[in-house]
Amino acid sequence: MNANWLDEIKWTEDGLVPVIAQEADSGDVVMFAWMSRESLALTAEKGEAVYFSRSRGKLWHKGEESGHVQKVKSIRVDCDKDVVLLSIEQVGGIACHTGRHSCFYHELQGDEWVAVEPVLKDPKQIYK
């Protein structure tokens, strides 16, 4: 596979690009993460989301511990080619390490953040 398409991405100074993961069926935005050149290439090659974990400083195949992989349906880039949008199938229906469907489960209500999505599975059962 020709990797010239990777050269068109506008990478940050630290060699990353922000990525939004959106569920193909529901349209729900389930995650925000980062990808390196290598992780984006692997994502395209494998058909499953591979991110770059800034906190761990390494590649992170989504679901490697939990089993909640993201099967990639399409990879898009915005008009400036500085944000990637993955259309995904979220295996197991859980994207968040808290055991929720989406990482975006806090909603501003008045002057406080309220958790508005239920925990679908206790993280202690997910991460052994």
Nearest C-alpha neighbor of 101 from the set 116, 113, 112, 114: 116
Nearest C-alpha neighbor of 123 from the set 67, 75, 71: 67
What is the β-pairing status of strands 106-109 and 84-90?
A: unpaired
Kindly report, residue by residue over 90-110, the tens digit of the pLDDT.
999 999 999 999 999 999 999
Taking residues 101-126, report their average pLDDT: 94
Residue 116 lies in a domain: no
Predicted confidence band at 2 (pLDDT cuts at 50, 70, 90)?
low
Q: What is the pTM of this model?
A: 0.92
**Domain span holding position 41:** 4-93
Nearest C-alpha neighbor of 63 from the set 105, 111, 31, 24: 31
Whichever domain contains 26, its CATH number is 3.10.20.810
Kindly report, residue by residue over 37-88, the tens digit of the pLDDT.
999 999 999 999 999 999 999 999 999 889 999 999 999 999 999 999 999 9
Residue 63 lies in a domain: yes
Residue 38 lies in a domain: yes
Q: Strand, coil or helix: what is 43?
A: helix
Q: How many domains does the chain have?
A: 1
Residue 110 lies in a domain: no
- pLDDT score of 1: 52
Predicted confidence band at 128 (pLDDT cuts at 50, 70, 90)?
confident
Residue 118 lies in a domain: no
Greatest Cα-to-Cα distance within the chain, rounded to the nearest angstrom: 51
Residue 127 lies in a domain: no
**DSSP classification of residue 16:** E
Residue 119 lies in a domain: no
- pLDDT score of 112: 96
Written as six digits, the tokens of 107 are 């909603």
Q: 89: which strand partners? A: 71
Q: 107: which strand partners? A: 114
Residue 27 scores a pLDDT above 90: yes
